[in-house]
A and B are shown apart, each in its own frame.
Chain A
Amino acid sequence: MIRVQAEDFDPGAELAAFSAGNGKVGGICMFLGLVRDYLGDHPGQGAGVSAMTLEHYPGMTERQLAAIEAEARDRWPLHEVLIIHRHGRLEPGERIVLVATASSHREAAFQSCHFLMDWLKTKAPFWKIEHTDQGDQWVAAKDEDDDAARRWTR
């Protein structure tokens, strides 16, 4: 299931509902992404992030996330997949993204969750602009995210 929304979500409630009633599920893996204050990465230099805004491409976002989910289901025996991605203005500490996978065994759940996050980072059309005490700045894509996605190429 794919959800793209401005509202926050409750990870505990999502997790509890995720595979309820599916007796075949033996393991769930969940990744929760939060807004980080980049000042903590480079103490003493650069600007502190007071907030960020996530822009996306409505329509293509859902289409690409559905394609990524389909790819994961093709590669691993998954009973359930949940991807929630927020857009709009977010403060440090807020939840941005949740990816959860449910399988009969842990290895498929772990691997597919990792895969979904790596592919989502490089394929889902979201863009972050950081609001800092030195002005607004679009976040640049990272080479390491491309490298992380590439390890799943087959």
Chain B
Amino acid sequence: MNVLYFAWLRAKVGVGEEIVVAPEAVTTTGALVEWLKTRSDGHAQAFADLKLVRVAVNQDYVGWDHPIKPADEVAFFPPVTGG
């Protein structure tokens, strides 16, 4: 699974993109976050407050109960500030 991080989430995690193989039990975006938090202190810090994090699967906004598959592109980022 291709996981992307943007803005301050990228800074905290330390990379903008990583390819991960999550355990089979990880079937939703919320479960993926809980698993990613165990990977490093940076991951744990990035996901410390999920109210500040948005998630997209295959470039569409989704919620924390959205199903994920190994071939998905999952992106985490803060609320947007363009315009």
A-side interface residues toward B, CB under 8 Å?
A: 33, 54-57, 59-60, 63-64, 85, 96-97, 117, 120-129, 138-141
Q: Is B80 close to A, CB under 8 A?
A: yes
B4 x A54 contact (CB < 8 A) = no
B82 x A124 contact (CB < 8 A) = yes
CB distance from B62 to the nearest CB of A (A): 12
Partner of B59 from A60, A85, A128 at Cβ < 8 Å:
A60
B-side interface residues toward A, CB under 8 Å?
A: 4, 6-8, 56, 59-61, 75, 77-83
B83 x A127 contact (CB < 8 A) = no
B8 x A60 contact (CB < 8 A) = no
Partner of A97 from B7, B56, B60, B83 at Cβ < 8 Å:
B83
Given A127-B7, A138-B8, is A60 in contact with B56 using a C-beta cutoff of 8 Å? yes
CB distance from B51 to the nearest CB of A (A): 11
A127 x B6 contact (CB < 8 A) = yes
Given contacts A121-B82, A138-B81, 7 further A-B contacts (CB under 8 A): A55-B7, A57-B59, A60-B56, A120-B83, A125-B77, A127-B82, A141-B78
Given A57-B75, A63-B59, A141-B78, is A125 in contact with B83 using a C-beta cutoff of 8 Å? no
Q: Name B7's closest neighbour in chain A (CB-CB).
A: A127
A127 x B59 contact (CB < 8 A) = no
Across the interface, which residues of B come within 8 angstroms of A127, CB to CB?
Answer: 6-7, 77-78, 80-82
CA of A117 to CA of B82, assembled, Å: 10
Across the interface, which residues of A come within 8 angstroms of B59, CB to CB?
Answer: 57, 59-60, 63-64
Q: 10 pairs across A/B with beta carbons < 8 Å? A: A54-B82, A57-B59, A57-B75, A60-B56, A124-B82, A125-B75, A125-B80, A125-B82, A127-B6, A127-B7
CA of A141 to CA of B52, assembled, Å: 9
CA of A130 to CA of B77, assembled, Å: 17
CB distance from A41 to the nearest CB of B (A): 15
